């Protein structure tokens, strides 16, 4: 067919005929008559109002546009479209291959999305290779789904839907009863060793999800045009095209088809919850946990997300009775920008009342979401794939934003010819807005509170440690007793140590006898050797006597005896350095802070400054940062800070759980020595005044507020993603 130049056509004198394969049927939206148009060959759908439908129904191939416009005016009066509007409608019909000139052959149908405009076809062809979103139809897949959908259609009968909803609710209730245990294992999603299983699980769930759409579509009276695979960041996911749901007259039927995938996925996740709660096999529970996580994340982030054109979007669109929600929202945003940047006061109001406000708000939320997704995928790709990820991010960004950018340039060039001052105004204000937005994202420091987990504990010098290993044979005090410095607290028995002291005493006496004989016989060389032996024996004997003195455990300061289940340690073997008890006064307390590496510089600036401490009950205490250790450690200084004990710090367990407790572990417990932080942390000590020390109990977890951290949004996003990957890698190792 020979293409005509639109600039040489006298549109008003052209007879136009609606294509013979176009179907039109009436529906009601927001109480008004609307006509939907379908091209069955390409499964493209359009909608027009009553004036537009009246005009296109007059295009029989014999009447010119001017004649059809006059006929419509005679029928509708003032409600009829104007002559220029009729010409615009005719152009729109020709551009979308809904009509053709009477002296030209009808349009040749190709695949969906093909138009007569070669440049537009080329742009859409390039968009198909967006690395973030590549759609690949599978030939014959839609036909294979038909018998399967007919056989499983009973799954969406009313009784089955009621049973399914009740089952999902019951499963969610069961999950809430073990919510803490479920969240404790949710961190495995960042473990790279689990990503392959998560990917396979996601692919399987997506396949079931799309199958649910196909079954519901066929049951409601629609058809599946095509099915295939969409590649999201090179990840294969299934899809089905159920655009035929536009033929359904009931919007609730369309909402049912849109929600069918999430319903089926929810039922599968509910079975996984049952398996995770009741199954004893660790392998099955691990896999069920992955199914629950994958189904939940995919539903929240994608399927139920109304800001992306997935299930949630179509449900919201039909629920609001605004079929072209995304298009009208984008138009609302464009009109707003034209008004503020170009001074264009024209505003086409497609909706009134609450729908107008809702469409406008949705448009801005969708723009913000697209920017967030684009930036997040770019950061993820560049972090995980290095230089190739950066190139992939740039390519994907151009695929997403390149076409709108080129369209904007073309419209700007057209506007420059007629209204150059508007273009200058828009360029100035736009440059200022883009510069400010870029500065806000990349350079503007955004303050956030520096919060560090802390715990109140007694000072290290108040701990009574075992000076020599042995059996604890006698306890002379009980918990709660008041003692003075130097009082005996316990007795430790170590016969081997006492035997060594006695043997060294005898050896010293024997050495003295030989020394006297050497002096009497004037054997100078032997005398010097015996003198050296005497000094060595004396030094060793002095050390052992000090250790034997430690068998009598004494209080190093006055105070109250504090110990948990002290009697259980009687007649047990204790190692040197173990904490036996604590002798302290109510003021012998300090606050131990465990500081993340990203926070240490902000905390260091607060040394010597008062720090606010907040409890879980919102009580406020005050302390002074006294010291900050120069080196980070992965050891857990206090068990109450570990996530396994209800604390905020993620930990892992050492393989060598029987390792000897070091002096750095102030409680000296074996469980602490077996724990390791996923990331090394710095430690800080805060001093408490006598008044504050008496107010706050030992062992209480608090949150310390160390001022404010200044960092831009882009830096925070990148740091968060890098930390998540680092924690996952550390957990794997």
Pair 265, 289 in one domain:
yes
Pair 246, 363 in one domain:
no
SS3 655: coil
Instruction: Establish if 86 belongs to a structural domain.
Output: yes
Q: Residue 503 forms beta bridges with which residues?
A: none
**CA 698, chain centre distance (Å):** 35
Pair 283, 200 in one domain:
yes
Pair 698, 595 in one domain:
yes
- Give the count of domains, the chain: 5
Domain that holds residue 159: 132-321
Q: Residue 163 forms beta bridges with which residues?
A: none
Instruction: Establish if 577 belongs to a structural domain.
Output: no
Q: What are the angstrom distances between the C-alpha of 505 and each of 201, 424, 499, 512? A: 74, 102, 10, 11
How do residues 614-671 score in pLDDT, each as one tens digit?
988 888 999 999 988 888 888 888 888 887 777 888 787 765 444 444 444 334 455 6
Handedness of CA 222, 225, 228, 229 (dihedral sign): negative
Q: Give 10-residue mean pLDDT values along the chain (733 residues).
A: 55 84 82 83 81 88 87 87 86 86 79 47 54 75 85 90 94 88 71 75 87 91 84 72 82 89 91 90 86 80 81 87 82 84 69 82 88 71 60 68 77 83 85 86 83 91 89 89 90 89 88 86 83 88 87 90 85 87 90 89 89 88 90 85 80 57 43 77 92 90 88 79 64 53
Pair 482, 435 in one domain:
no
Residues with Cβ within 8 Å of 289's Cβ and at least 6 positions away in sequence, in order, are 182, 185, 188, 272, 276
Residue with tokens 């660790």: 282
Choose the final residue of a domain: 84, 116, 148: 116
Closest CA to 464 of 393, 563, 377: 563
Give the pLDDT confidence score for residue 658 in this predicted structure: 41
Pair 138, 261 in one domain:
yes
Pair 561, 604 in one domain:
no
Q: Residue 701 forms beta bridges with which residues?
A: 455
Cα(563)–Cα(530) distance, integer angstroms: 49
Cα(209)–Cα(115) distance, integer angstroms: 32
Cα(669)–Cα(667) distance, integer angstroms: 6
Instruction: Establish if 15 belongs to a structural domain.
Output: yes
Pair 507, 595 in one domain:
no
Instruction: Establish if 580 belongs to a structural domain.
Output: no
Cα(192)–Cα(643) distance, integer angstroms: 21
Instruction: Establish if 499 belongs to a structural domain.
Output: yes
Instruction: Establish if 579 belongs to a structural domain.
Output: no
Cα(102)–Cα(16) distance, integer angstroms: 5
Cα(431)–Cα(482) distance, integer angstroms: 75
Helix (H) or strand (E) segment spanning residue 455: strand 446-458
Pair 139, 286 in one domain:
yes
Pair 67, 170 in one domain:
no
Residue 232, phi then psi, degrees to nearest 5: -105, 110
Give the pLDDT confidence score for residue 671 in this predicted structure: 64
Give the pLDDT confidence score for residue 189 in this predicted structure: 66
User: In terms of C-beta density within 10 A (0-12 exposed, 13-18 middle, 19 or more buried), how is residue 349 classed?
Assistant: exposed
Give the pLDDT confidence score for residue 702 in this predicted structure: 92
Direct distance between the N- and C-terminal alpha carbons of the chain, in angstroms, rounded to an integer: 66
Cα(132)–Cα(129) distance, integer angstroms: 8
Instruction: Establish if 48 belongs to a structural domain.
Output: yes
Cα(659)–Cα(405) distance, integer angstroms: 63
Pair 720, 707 in one domain:
no
What is the token pair recorded at 574?
């204790």
Cα(447)–Cα(246) distance, integer angstroms: 48
Instruction: Establish if 23 belongs to a structural domain.
Output: yes
Cβ of 152: how many Cβ atoms within 10 Å?
16
**CA 246, chain centre distance (Å):** 34
Helix (H) or strand (E) segment spanning residue 314: helix 311-320
DSSP letter, residue 111: S
Residue 81, phi then psi, degrees to nearest 5: -70, 150
Cα(472)–Cα(432) distance, integer angstroms: 77
Choose the final residue of a domain: 297, 321, 345: 321
Give the pLDDT confidence score for residue 232 in this predicted structure: 67
Cβ of 196: how many Cβ atoms within 10 Å?
9
Give the pLDDT confidence score for residue 169 in this predicted structure: 93
Residues with Cβ within 8 Å of 223's Cβ and at least 6 positions away in sequence, in order, are 142, 217, 244
SS3 706: strand
Choose the final residue of a domain: 505, 535, 568: 568
Pair 311, 332 in one domain:
no
Cα(222)–Cα(235) distance, integer angstroms: 29
Cα(500)–Cα(544) distance, integer angstroms: 8
What is the token pair recorded at 629?
């250790």
Helix (H) or strand (E) segment spanning residue 50: helix 50-57
């Amino acid at each position: 067919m020979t293409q005509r130049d639109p600039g040489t056509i006298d549109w008003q004198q052209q007879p136009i005929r609606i294509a013979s394969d176009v179907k039109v049927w009436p529906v009601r939206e927001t109480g008004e008559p609307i006509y939907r148009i379908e091209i069955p060959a390409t499964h493209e759908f359009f909608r027009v109002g009553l004036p537009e439908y009246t005009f296109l129904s007059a295009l029989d191939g014999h009447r010119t546009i001017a004649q059809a416009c006059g006929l419509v005016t005679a029928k509708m009066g003032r409600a009829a479209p104007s002559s220029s509007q009729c010409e615009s409608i005719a152009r729109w019909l020709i551009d979308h291959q809904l009509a053709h000139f009477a002296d030209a052959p009808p349009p040749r149908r190709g695949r969906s999305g093909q138009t007569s405009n070669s440049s537009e076809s080329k742009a859409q062809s390039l968009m198909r290779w967006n690395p973030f979103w590549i759609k690949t139809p599978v030939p014959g897949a839609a036909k294979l789904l038909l018998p399967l959908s007919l056989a499983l259609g009973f799954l969406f009968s009313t009784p089955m839907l009621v049973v399914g909803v009740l089952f999902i609710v019951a499963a969610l209730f069961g999950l809430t009863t073990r919510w803490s245990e479920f969240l404790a294992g949710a961190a495995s999603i960042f473990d790279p060793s689990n990503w392959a299983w998560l990917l396979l699980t996601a692919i399987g769930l997506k396949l079931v999800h799309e199958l649910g759409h196909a079954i519901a579509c066929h049951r409601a009276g629609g058809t599946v045009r095509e099915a295939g695979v969409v590649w999201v960041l090179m990840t294969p996911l299934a899809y089905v095209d159920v655009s035929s749901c536009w033929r359904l007259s009931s919007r609730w039927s369309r909402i049912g088809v849109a929600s069918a995938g999430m319903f089926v996925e929810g039922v599968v996740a509910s079975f996984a919850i049952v398996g995770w709660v009741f199954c004893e096999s660790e392998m099955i529970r691990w896999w069920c946990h992955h199914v629950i996580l994958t189904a939940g994340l995919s539903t929240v982030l994608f399927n139920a997300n109304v800001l992306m054109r997935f299930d949630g979007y179509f449900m919201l669109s039909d629920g609001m009775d605004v079929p072209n929600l995304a298009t009208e929202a984008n138009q609302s945003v464009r009109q707003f920008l034209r008004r503020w940047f170009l001074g264009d006061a024209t505003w086409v109001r497609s909706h009134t009342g609450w729908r107008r406000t809702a469409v406008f708000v949705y448009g801005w939320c969708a723009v913000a979401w697209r920017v967030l997704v684009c930036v997040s995928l770019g950061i993820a790709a560049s972090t995980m794939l290095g230089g190739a990820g950066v190139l992939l991010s740039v390519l994907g960004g151009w695929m997403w934003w390149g076409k709108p950018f080129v369209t904007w340039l073309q419209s700007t060039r057209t506007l420059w010819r007629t209204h150059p001052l508007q273009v200058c105004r828009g360029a100035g204000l736009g440059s200022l807005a883009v510069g400010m937005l870029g500065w806000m994202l990349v350079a503007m420091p955004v303050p956030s509170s520096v919060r560090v987990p802390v715990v109140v504990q007694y000072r290290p010098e108040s701990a009574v440690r075992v000076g020599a290993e042995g059996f604890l044979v006698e306890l002379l005090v009980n918990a709660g007793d008041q003692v003075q410095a130097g009082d005996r607290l316990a007795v430790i028995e170590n016969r081997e140590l006492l035997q060594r002291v006695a043997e060294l005493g005898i050896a010293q006496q024997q050495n003295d006898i030989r020394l006297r004989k050497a002096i009497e016989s004037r054997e100078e060389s032997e005398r010097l050797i015996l003198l050296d032996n005497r000094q060595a024996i004396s030094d060793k004997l002095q050390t052992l006597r000090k250790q034997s003195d430690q068998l009598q455990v004494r209080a190093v300061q006055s105070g109250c005896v504090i110990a948990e289940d002290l009697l259980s340690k009687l007649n047990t073997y204790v190692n040197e350095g173990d904490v036996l008890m604590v002798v302290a006064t109510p003021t012998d307390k300090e606050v131990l802070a465990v500081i993340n590496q990203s926070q240490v510089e902000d905390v260091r600036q607060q040394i010597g400054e008062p720090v606010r401490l907040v409890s879980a009950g919102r009580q406020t205490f005050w302390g002074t940062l006294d010291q900050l250790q120069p080196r980070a450690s992965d050891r857990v200084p206090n068990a109450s800070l570990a996530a396994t004990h209800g604390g905020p710090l993620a930990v892992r367990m050492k393989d060598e759980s029987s390792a000897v407790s070091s002096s750095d572990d102030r409680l000296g417990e074996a469980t602490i020595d077996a724990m390791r932080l996923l990331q090394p942390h710095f430690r800080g000590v805060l001093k408490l005044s006598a008044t504050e020390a008496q107010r706050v109990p030992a062992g209480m977890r608090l949150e310390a507020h160390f001022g404010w951290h200044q960092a831009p949004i882009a830096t925070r996003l990148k740091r968060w993603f890098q930390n998540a990957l680092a924690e996952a890698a550390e957990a794997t190792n």
